[in-house]
Amino acid sequence: MGEAAIDLGEERPSVFMEKVKEILPDGGNLDLCLTCGACASGCPASGLHGMDPRKFLRMAALGLDEEVTSTPWVWLCSMCQRCIYVCPMQIDIPALVYQARSMWPREERPKGILGSCDMALRNDSCSAMGASPEDFQFVVEDVLEEVRESQPGFEDLQAPIDKQGAHFFLNQNSREPVTEPDEMIPLWKILHHVGADWTYGSKGWGGENYCMFLADDDSWKKTVATSIGHAHELGCKVYLNTE
């Protein structure tokens, strides 16, 4: 006598999957998953909170909305996209993770990422450290002067800010000018040696974007628009994102 079939119960409507189908081509191709495990094998977040990309994907495909949109694992994903590169079916799991993050109440999202995003919105620097355009300019000019005076061969080193018509618009991780300003110098020297025509912007120089990791589309758009908009105002041709 054969075993009875497993009863999975009635099919549950999935709000999460409906959102996914709206934003991803072919509904995210979730039905193409071969459950091969290639995504999980190279994921730096595999095993954390008992989760991995393959398990997360299957939960989404089965309509387990509550589990998918409440697991803290989504905040451990680095969005590195390694899972996409190894997936034979090219399923965009990071996009699923992003959508799951966006369904968390904003005030319940990780405090560190939330605070850094909100800090970046407070002034035109878009700096997650809260450094103002004036503070940034002071630090850059101070460090530049020290290099010119103390390092032979770099007497004419440049680190321009708001240079009109520069070819490259460069942003900067705002941790460096705030806590480790000397770490800005090697990149300046490289640009100097190759004769690059570049500039920082007084607006939008903060290169990190915690609002993206927070899955806050409106705030993400605002910081990017500030930075790109200033690059256009200066007439720059190429945007160099150091992050």
Tens of pLDDT, residue by residue over 16-61, are 666 666 655 555 566 778 889 999 998 999 999 999 999 998 888 8
What digits encode the pLDDT tens for the residues 115-154?
999 999 999 999 999 999 999 999 999 999 999 999 999 9
Whether residue 6 is predicted with pLDDT greater than 50 in this model: the reply is: no
Topology annotation, domain 15-104: Fumarate Reductase Iron-sulfur Protein; Chain B, domain 2 (1.10.1060)
Q: From CA 145, how far away is CA 185, in angstroms rounded?
A: 11
What digits encode the pLDDT tens for the residues 107-119?
999 999 999 999 9
Give the residue from 222, 241, 243 showing the smallest Cα distance to 169. 241
CB neighbourhood size of 34 (10 A): 11
Taking the complete model, does pTM exceed 0.75, yes or no?
yes
| The residue to which tokens 């407070």 are assigned | 122
Give the residue from 214, 217, 222 showing the smallest Cα distance to 113. 214
DSSP string for residues in 16-69: HHHHHHHHSGGGGGGGG-----HHHHT-TTTTGGG--HHHHHHHHHTT-HHHHT
199-232 as b/e: b if 16+ CB within 10 A: bbbbbbbbbbbbbbbbbbeebbeebeebbeebbe
Domain with CATH 1.10.1060.10 in the chain: 15-104
